[in-house]
Structure 1
Amino acid sequence: MKKRGITLKLFTVTALIFVAFYAMIMIFQLVFFDSFYQHYKTKEAAKHLDSLAQAYQDNPWSAEQLTKQTLSYMRETKSPLTIVDAEGYQLVQDPLHIMLETEDGQVLEVALSLLVTDYGDELNALNIKKGDTLVVNGENDMSVSSVVYPSVITKGQDSVGEHLEENEVTFEGTVKSVSLPKAVMSNRGFGLLYDALLEWFPLDESLLKKLNKGESLQLDWVESWTGKHNLVLIEPVKKDGEMQLMFSVTSIQETKDTNEALRVFYLYIGIAGFVLILLLSLIYSRLVSSPLIKLNEMAKKMVHLDFSSVKPIKRNDELGSLSNNMLIMAQNLDHAVEDLKQANDKLKQDMEKRKQMEKAQREFFENASHELKTPLSIIKSFAEGLQDGVSPDKQDHYMEVIIEESDKMEILIGDMLDLAKLENGVIKLKKSSFLLSEMAENLSDKLFCMAKEKRVSIEVMPRNELPIVADYEWMERVIRNLLVNAVRHSEPESVVTIRIETDSKEECSVFMVENKGPQIPEEQLANIWSRFYRTESSRSRMTGGTGLGLAIVQQILELHGFSYGVENMPEGVRFFARFHK
């Protein structure tokens, strides 16, 4: 994977996504935006007007409440509103007005819609409040004398508007109430509203028929002076048995102007977008491509089972997490490979051990057959002698030989069975605490006759002895086999010494059996624990025993977890065992 390859791909994908998104925006803006926005604005304005008309028809609002609702509609829709009859004459109070009380007690309605259209900001700057004294110049309504259309309003030294050239009247009074729009409502096209009234009224017969049926009208109107597009909404209302019309004008020219400006703006967005894509390609190269290349190099080394050079990428994102996971995987694979090698080596060792066990098993059967064959042959020959009728004075000797060889066979078979049980692990130890010296004294007494026959004495020498915890019967078998082995291989007129000491460093009891006699060749010391092994095969029948005694000792001690060994001394051999707590 080359760096420019992944970067180019990321750049291409990003560019295609941007171009597709940009093209979608441009198509939507050029083809659908005008109609969509016009439909949306018409729907929203019509919904608000219908809601206001329904509320006006169902509720007996006062003039003040109606003014408040009218101003609320104008704030929400940003469109002027009035209520007229079928001829186009206004039936309600101007929503923007000042109630002015003159010195003679007359209350005048100062209609502000036209003045707000031209001087909305200046009028708001006067900050007219209830109780202020105003001077109003203007003209009276021809049909309602209490309504004044102001040309100039003066508060203190500040004035708003322009004086009329003729028919101007002047009023001075105190403000009783004020209904003025906020700053954002200063120019709401009240002049446009009155132009629309003059344009559409009186209404055509076709439109009046629809209104009489209760249908709402949504009319497209192009203002003749400016050529701007507007939406005229007329909502019929049944009030006090008469049909009244809610009349509102909404400008949609702003949408067209905005849409044309957006087309130019989107061109600059496109240029900026392609510059941004170039920057993104550089960012991708640093943030994405470079880590991916490192991860790829790590993966290549892992393919060749090289896990030593795998290093994590220090990042707090998915690539950093992937790097850490690859590191963990590499470590696990490294351990798995190492474990597999060890398992393979162990398998080889197990196979070698199995071969050795099979060899030992064959030798065991061969030795067992040999050991059993000798007494069987003796028993058979002496039994045949008895059958052939030997002289009466030899019959007793023949019987003794047969019994002696049968006892040897019984001991051999018993040892073989015990050894098999120990090797198979079916023996359950019954541990207890006892002193080895007491056990050794009892065994010495039992072997007194055997030792006397060999002209050997047995001495037990305990020193700072501590009790051990072990299976008493099996441990007695260990001490007996070691003691019998020592007696059999001792020189006449010698002493077999049993030493029992405490090793304070290792916190264990040490049992030693020493005899004076021939040493064991150094190369054979490790083999004497094998079954049927004797250092001198020619003496196998002379020294007695089954050849399994030391093998049984080994299995019992290992079952207990005790250590053991054998070593030559200057004049003999020493067997020892360490009994750990």
Structure 2
Amino acid sequence: MKQQKLRASMLLMELMFLLIVVGGSVLLYNMFAPAYYRQQKSRVIEKAYEEVKRMDLSAIGDEEMETLKSYEGQNLTFTIANKEMDPVYTTGSSQDNLYQDERQVHRNIVVYRKFFEKDPKVQFWNARGKETLWLFGRLKQGDERYFVCVKENVQKVYSALFYTEKFLLFVVVFSLLSGCAFMYWQSRRIAKPIEELSGVSQKLTERDFSVRAKNYGTYQEISVLAHNFNMMADEMQDYIQKLESSKDALERFNKMRNDFTANITHELKTPLAVISGQIELLQAMGDKVDQDYYFSSIREEVQKMSDMVGNLLNISSMEHELENVERQRLNLSETVEYMMLKYDALFHKKNLKIASEIEKDCRILGNREYIEQAAGNYIMNAFAHCGEGRHMKISLAKKDGKAVFGVYNDSEPLTDEEKRKIWEKYYQGEEQTGHSGLGLHIVKTVITMHGGTYGVDNRENGVCFWFSLPLV
């Protein structure tokens, strides 16, 4: 089915409505106006005859004359005569022109005497194109009989109607022209925003969610529709952005997961190969080798794998359970001092120069196990990147209502991109140190869930990792 434009359809419907209303009015006027006029005028004539019947025709006074004159003002003509056909009253009668009265009596009564009735009805005559309404009445007052003729020349009225019809034709033409212009403007006014909304919807189907509909304040329905279009576009744009963001995040996660899988596979492969080789050597050589050395080496490789798997389990556990973990008042100063002692032997292994500034009574609300793990990850991360005989500094201080813990070590400064990425899961940087890339992500998770902040700053000749927690 061929589709039509809304504007053309609206214009056509409004034009048809105008033709029906205006043209129909003119048509009905031409068809029924004469008959309606005759009907209404017949009632006036009958009413006038009833008025004449109530008059004393033997002595027509001023009051009766006034009544008759009022009907004559409505285009009626009266001719009243007695049984001798002497004029009693004629329209336009004059005492100076009795002949004219007698002539009118003859023309309207004598000639039509046979039509006079006691109970007359209005008659419509059309003779030689002249249309007339007649009422021939015969009545008796006392001993006197009277003939009353009431008529109207309808043809004169039709002449007036003819000019009225011409004027109505002009009205029709003017109404159609002005109506068409107005309807075109109005239909354009209504159709234009709908066409624009159609363009907006087309853009939305093309996934251009930046387009917005205008606010059409003239029509409430169109304004509401435009508002709904904009809300839908906002929601769809937000949804698409979230999808794209999720997609990018998923792609990054998959890449890191693949990298981690490759790295963890490599890391597990190496200790397994070492363990396998050492076991084969022990089996082959027996007592000829230092068994304690090889057993210690095997335990070391097993511990590496255990630590690696433990990190994976820890990060999974923290992400799912840390929100509900039990927290208590914790003296962070004592915890850090304890950790310094625990790692002392490790520091000596690399002959590191260790400095510390631990402020007393830095008390926080948290879980000792997780806080210690976060601080330990900072220390082990610094230890891994600190060369033989280099400097490390561990600090804890109160600042702005927070306990600020920091670990500094001599190392190359970090780039802005590295500062952003080191907190992500499995990120290992370009050095590929062999670690799983979970340590700093664990710090991020623990500190965030404790309501703290974390970060890293480049310092002179080194890098400082820090986190802060609210004091209690």
TM class by shorter chain equals: 0.5 to 0.7
**How far apart, CA to CA, are the structure 2 residues paired with 1:565 and 1:398?**
42
**How far apart, CA to CA, are the structure 2 residues paired with 1:394 and 1:452?**
26
- Residue segments in structure 1 that go unaligned for 5+ positions in a row: 46-73, 83-111, 125-197, 201-218, 233-250, 314-319
> CA 1:576–1:11 in structure 2 vs 1: closer, same or farther (change >3 Å)?
same
**How far apart, CA to CA, are the structure 1 residues paired with 2:357 and 2:59?**
132
Quick check: 1:512 aligned with 2:419?
no
Report if aligned partners of 1:478, 1:556 keep a CA contact under 8 Å in 2: yes
Q: Alpha-carbon deviation of 1:513?
A: 1.7
Look up the SS of the partner of 1:401 in the other structure.
helix
Tell me which residue corresponds to 2:445.
555
Of 111, 114, 134, which aligns to 2:56?
114
Tell me which residue corresponds to 1:407.
303
Q: Alpha-carbon deviation of 1:11?
A: 6.2
**How far apart, CA to CA, are the structure 2 residues paired with 1:460 and 1:22?**
106
Matches within 5 A, 1:436-455: 436-455=332-351
**How far apart, CA to CA, are the structure 1 residues paired with 2:275 and 2:175?**
103
**How far apart, CA to CA, are the structure 2 residues paired with 1:10 and 1:389?**
108
Tell me which residue corresponds to 1:568.
458
> CA 1:119–1:369 in structure 2 vs 1: closer, same or farther (change >3 Å)?
same
Tell me which residue corresponds to 2:18.
14
Tell me which residue corresponds to 2:77.
none
- Residue segments in structure 2 that go unaligned for 5+ positions in a row: 67-115, 124-132, 140-147, 204-210
**How far apart, CA to CA, are the structure 2 residues paired with 1:351 and 1:463?**
47
Q: Alpha-carbon deviation of 1:363?
A: 1.0
> CA 1:12–1:484 in structure 2 vs 1: closer, same or farther (change >3 Å)?
closer
Q: Alpha-carbon deviation of 1:115?
A: 8.0
> CA 1:437–1:220 in structure 2 vs 1: closer, same or farther (change >3 Å)?
farther
> CA 1:578–1:288 in structure 2 vs 1: closer, same or farther (change >3 Å)?
farther
> CA 1:33–1:493 in structure 2 vs 1: closer, same or farther (change >3 Å)?
closer
Tell me which residue corresponds to 2:269.
373
TM-score, scaled relative to structure 1: 0.52
Quick check: 1:497 aligned with 2:391?
no
**How far apart, CA to CA, are the structure 2 residues paired with 1:123 and 1:300?**
72
Report if aligned partners of 2:322, 2:446 keep a CA contact under 8 Å in 1: no
> CA 1:24–1:283 in structure 2 vs 1: closer, same or farther (change >3 Å)?
closer
Q: Please give the per-residue CA displacement for 1:259-285, whole angstroms capped at 9, x wherever unaligned.
A: 777655544443333333344346536
Look up the SS of the partner of 1:228 in the other structure.
strand
Report if aligned partners of 2:121, 2:136 keep a CA contact under 8 Å in 1: yes
Report if aligned partners of 1:221, 1:231 keep a CA contact under 8 Å in 2: no
Report if aligned partners of 1:11, 1:277 keep a CA contact under 8 Å in 2: no
Look up the SS of the partner of 1:114 in the other structure.
coil
Look up the SS of the partner of 1:519 in the other structure.
coil
**How far apart, CA to CA, are the structure 2 residues paired with 1:264 and 1:441?**
123
> CA 1:34–1:481 in structure 2 vs 1: closer, same or farther (change >3 Å)?
same
Report if aligned partners of 1:222, 1:228 keep a CA contact under 8 Å in 2: yes
**How far apart, CA to CA, are the structure 1 residues paired with 2:430 and 2:364?**
32
Q: Please give the per-residue CA displacement for 1:64-110, whole angstroms capped at 9, x wherever unaligned.
A: xxxxxxxxxx9xx995899xxxxxxxxxxxxxxxxxxxxxxxxxxxx
**How far apart, CA to CA, are the structure 2 residues paired with 1:286 and 1:578?**
75
Quick check: 1:459 aligned with 2:356?
yes
Look up the equivalent residue of 1:274 and give its one-letter code: L
Tell me which residue corresponds to 1:359.
255
Look up the SS of the partner of 2:454 in the other structure.
strand
Look up the equivalent residue of 1:270 and give its one-letter code: E
Report if aligned partners of 1:440, 1:460 keep a CA contact under 8 Å in 2: no
Look up the SS of the partner of 1:553 in the other structure.
helix
**How far apart, CA to CA, are the structure 1 residues paired with 2:249 and 2:16?**
65
Q: Alpha-carbon deviation of 1:451?
A: 3.5
Give aligned pairs, total. 387
**How far apart, CA to CA, are the structure 2 residues paired with 1:390 and 1:18?**
121
> CA 1:269–1:311 in structure 2 vs 1: closer, same or farther (change >3 Å)?
farther
Look up the SS of the partner of 2:56 in the other structure.
helix
**How far apart, CA to CA, are the structure 2 residues paired with 1:229 and 1:435?**
129
Q: Alpha-carbon deviation of 1:401?
A: 2.8
**How far apart, CA to CA, are the structure 2 residues paired with 1:231 and 1:451?**
146
**How far apart, CA to CA, are the structure 2 residues paired with 1:433 and 1:229?**
124
> CA 1:418–1:309 in structure 2 vs 1: closer, same or farther (change >3 Å)?
closer
**How far apart, CA to CA, are the structure 2 residues paired with 1:221 and 1:387?**
146
> CA 1:118–1:568 in structure 2 vs 1: closer, same or farther (change >3 Å)?
same
Report if aligned partners of 1:514, 1:572 keep a CA contact under 8 Å in 2: yes
Q: Alpha-carbon deviation of 1:482?
A: 0.9
Look up the equivalent residue of 1:378 and give its one-letter code: V
Matches within 5 A, 1:415-426: 415-422=311-318, 425=320
Q: Please give the per-residue CA displacement for 1:305-325, whole angstroms capped at 9, x wherever unaligned.
A: 597896858xxxxxx31xx65
Of 169, 172, 188, which aligns to 1:274?
169
Report if aligned partners of 2:260, 2:436 keep a CA contact under 8 Å in 1: no
Q: Alpha-carbon deviation of 1:519?
A: 2.4
Kindly report the root-mean-square deviation, in angstroms, between the aligned alpha carbons of the 2 structures. Answer: 5.2
Q: Please give the per-residue CA displacement for 1:374-433, whole angstroms capped at 9, x wherever unaligned.
A: 22223333333444462187333333333333232222111112223456x564343556
Look up the SS of the partner of 2:290 in the other structure.
helix
Q: Please give the per-residue CA displacement for 1:483-533, whole angstroms capped at 9, x wherever unaligned.
A: 232344445484522233424xxx755432223x33255375545445262
Higher alpha-carbon Rg:
1
**How far apart, CA to CA, are the structure 1 residues paired with 2:49 and 2:229?**
72
> CA 1:286–1:557 in structure 2 vs 1: closer, same or farther (change >3 Å)?
farther
Of 173, 176, 179, which aligns to 1:284?
179
> CA 1:528–1:11 in structure 2 vs 1: closer, same or farther (change >3 Å)?
closer
Tell me which residue corresponds to 1:293.
188
**Richer in helix (by share):** 2
> CA 1:199–1:434 in structure 2 vs 1: closer, same or farther (change >3 Å)?
same
Look up the equivalent residue of 1:519 and give its one-letter code: E
> CA 1:228–1:455 in structure 2 vs 1: closer, same or farther (change >3 Å)?
same
